Amino acid sequence: MSTATEVPRGALTHPDIQSLEEVNRDVLRPLGRPGKGWWALLGLCIAGIGLLGYSWSIQIFQGIGVTGLTSPVGWGVYITTFVFWVGIAHSGTLISAILFLFRAPWRQSIYRAAEAMTVFAVMTAGLFPLIHVGRVWHAYWLIPYPNSRFLWPNFRSPLVWDVFAVTTYFTVSAVFFYLGTIPDLAAARDGAIGLRKKLYKVISLGWRGTDREWHHFGKAYIFLAALATPLVLSVHSVVSWDFAVSIVPGWHATIFAPYFVAGAIFSGVAMVITLTVPLRKAFRLEAYLTTKHYDAMAKLCLLTSMIVFYAYLSEFFMAWYSGEEVERAAFWERLFGPYWWATWTMLVCNGMVPVMLWFKRVRYSIPALFAISIFVNIGMWFERYVIIVTSLHHEYEPFAWGVYRPSTVEMGIMVGSFAWFGFWFLLFTRLLPPVAIAELKEVLPTPMRPKATAGSVGQRGER
């Protein structure tokens, strides 16, 4: 853990924060009584979850045929949305673990929200393999468990790798997330009353903020960060192998792992922007989530956007350069076939709109960033849709070509997945400190005696 050094106030990461006490007050304020807006959003999310449950139960009771899936397009909106959420899940760990190891000074304000987003996004993504399979009641067969018939999953199948990758990622990111919140939970506990106090008491594991505790906490945190770092790269690489390992033209490409990881970071950072802009506004956290933070995220977006766009171009180039009829036709179809609109949406949203991030004024404009992040979210969903659907619909066997149109059930489940994610995120905003108090205080200037008489007393959660 770094210690803050003396810096002029103008060069500070959070120039508007006057005191450490203010941090506690501001960050813990949302944990109070929620307003009507919050309840309305929660109600909306619960309705969405109802839609998800209803749609899914139709599918379970009638059959997977209620989707628009067909031969030759065996995967559609479900896998698209699965990859989308896994991608979203990416940036949380990237921001918290990798940026932590690299000591990036701008992570403290956003990493809590990003990590929460990660955990909830994996929880959302994890639904989709279940939703997607034809016989969900047998889905546990993908998990290696001892059984009397010695039947094991097929370890050569990328889908089994997926099971491992996603469950591992969920476990590690959930533990990492929880561990990071412990000091803050203790801070919340100290201010809370009644049932809430009991809850925070239990989940803060009796944190007292002793030196010994901080020592262990720091070690554990850095170990977990180190453990999570390779996962950031591996989980989406493995997801990309779902496609790259196959022989489907448009899927079978060695570029897929880095391409998917970059895309995941791209979409994840965009989602952090999308989520934190309203959060910042609603909870008046402008002092904590400053334009500098958004500038840093925008730069990361810009970088990954360029990587992703380069990957698009290289795919098209390689298809042409290969001279292979089937490969060429697949990519020609991608641009000009029945799904041209999806492809061009992807290219515009992911490759062209983020070009605006080259301008500093755009990077420092919160509304502009918010709008761009929405474009990127849409574009990244379509990227997966394009990869999955356009490749499958136009494969080797011309007589078997076909077209897939998503059904209302699929759209219902997709929309429901956003509600499911939103539900958890809304609970998060009211139950956990949305900004990491303890870590934030590390980067604030050390309180000076004249000013700090009131501020440093009774802050048991601080260091």
Partner 1 sequence: MTDGLKRRDFLKVLGASGAGAGVMGCSTEKVERLLPYVVPPEEVTPGVATWYATVCGECEAGCGMWVRTREGRVVKVEGNPEDPVSEGALCSRGHSSLQALYNPDRFTGPMLRQGEQLQPISWEEAEQMLADRLGAAGDYYLFTGSTGATLAGLMSDFAGATGGQVVRYDPLAEAPLREASRIAFGRDVVPWYDLEEARFLVSFGADFLESWLSPVRDGRGFARMSGVDENGGKGRFAFVGSRLSLTGQNADEWLPIQPGSEALVALAMANVVSGGGGNAGPYRDIVAAYTPENVAGVTGVDAESIRELGQLFADGPSLALGPGVAGLHRGATAANVAVAILNSVAGNVGRTVHYDAPQLSAPSAGVAPMEEAIEAMRSGRVGAALVHGSNPAYALPASSGFREAFASVPFKVSFASAMDETAASADLILPDRHFLESWGDASSRPGKWAVQQPAMRPVPHFDSKQTGDVLLSVATRMGEGFGSETFYDHLRTRWADLAVAAGAADAEAFWHETLRTGVAQVGTTPSGSAEALRQPDRGLVFDPPAFDGAGDLHLMVYPSARYGDGALNANRPWLQELPDPVSKITWHSWVEMHPNRAEALGVRNGDVVVLSTEHGSIEAPVWTYPGIREDVIAVPMGGGHTSAGRFADGNGVNALDLLPTESEVLSGGLVHFVTKVDVAPTGRRRPLATIAGSDVQSNRPISPAVALASLGSETGGAEEGEHGPLKELQGVGGFVPVETDGRPEAFPLAGAQHGEYGDEETPRWSMAIDLDKCTGCSACVTACQAENNVAWVGESQVTMGRDMGWIRLERYYETVEASHAGPVDVRFLPMICQHCGNAPCEPVCPVFATYHTPDGINTQVYNRCVGTRYCLNNCPYKVRVYNWYTYTDEEPVREGLGHIPEPLNWQLNPDVTVRENGIMEKCSFCIHRIRKHQDRAAVEGSSIVDGQVVPACQQSCPAEAIVFGNIRDTRSRVALASHGERAYRVLDELINTQPAVTYLKKVTFHEVESGEH
Chain residues binding partner 1 by CB under 8 A are 62-65, 68-72, 74-75, 132-135, 138-139, 141-142, 151-154, 156-160, 163, 242, 245-248, 324-326, 329, 392, 395-403
Q: Which is nearer to partner 1, 5 or 148 (CB)?
A: 148
Quote the least distance from Cβ 204 to partner 1, whole Å: 40
Quote the least distance from Cβ 308 to partner 1, whole Å: 23
Question: What DSSP character marks residue 338?
Answer: T
Quote the least distance from Cβ 100 to partner 1, whole Å: 34
CA dist 386 and 345 (Å) reads 10
Identify whether the C-beta of residue 366 lies closer than 8 Å to the C-beta of residue 291.
Answer: yes
Q: Which is nearer to partner 1, 74 or 458 (CB)?
A: 74
Q: What length does the chain have?
A: 463
DSSP string, 63-94: -GGGSS--SS----HHHHHHHHHHHHHHHHHI
Q: Which is nearer to partner 1, 72 or 209 (CB)?
A: 72
Helix and strand counts by DSSP (H, E) for the chain? 18, 0
Identify whether the C-beta of residue 129 lies closer than 8 Å to the C-beta of residue 302.
Answer: no
Quote the least distance from Cβ 170 to partner 1, whole Å: 18
- Strand locations in 156-264 (E): none
Identify whether the C-beta of residue 245 lies closer than 8 Å to the C-beta of residue 158.
Answer: yes
Quote the least distance from Cβ 130 to partner 1, whole Å: 10
Identify whether the C-beta of residue 60 lies closer than 8 Å to the C-beta of residue 136.
Answer: yes
Would you tell me how many other CB atoms lie within 10 Å of the CB of residue 69? 23
Which of 155, 396, 404 is closest to 252 using CA atoms?
Answer: 396
Quote the least distance from Cβ 394 to partner 1, whole Å: 9
Quote the least distance from Cβ 318 to partner 1, whole Å: 11
Q: Which is nearer to partner 1, 364 or 396 (CB)?
A: 396
Query: Which residues have C-beta within 8 Å of that of residue 361, sequence separation ≥ 6?
Result: none
Q: Which is nearer to partner 1, 33 or 399 (CB)?
A: 399
Which of 87, 85, 95 is closest to 115 using CA atoms?
Answer: 95
CA dist 206 and 323 (Å) reads 65
CA dist 23 and 13 (Å) reads 14
Q: Which is nearer to partner 1, 32 or 402 (CB)?
A: 402
Q: Which is nearer to partner 1, 51 or 392 (CB)?
A: 392
Quote the least distance from Cβ 326 to partner 1, whole Å: 7
Q: Which is nearer to partner 1, 281 or 405 (CB)?
A: 405
Quote the least distance from Cβ 372 to partner 1, whole Å: 33
Cis peptide before 258 (omega within 30 of 0): no
Q: Which is nearer to partner 1, 244 or 279 (CB)?
A: 244
Query: Which residues have C-beta within 8 Å of that of residue 100, sequence separation ≥ 6?
Result: 107, 111, 221, 222, 225
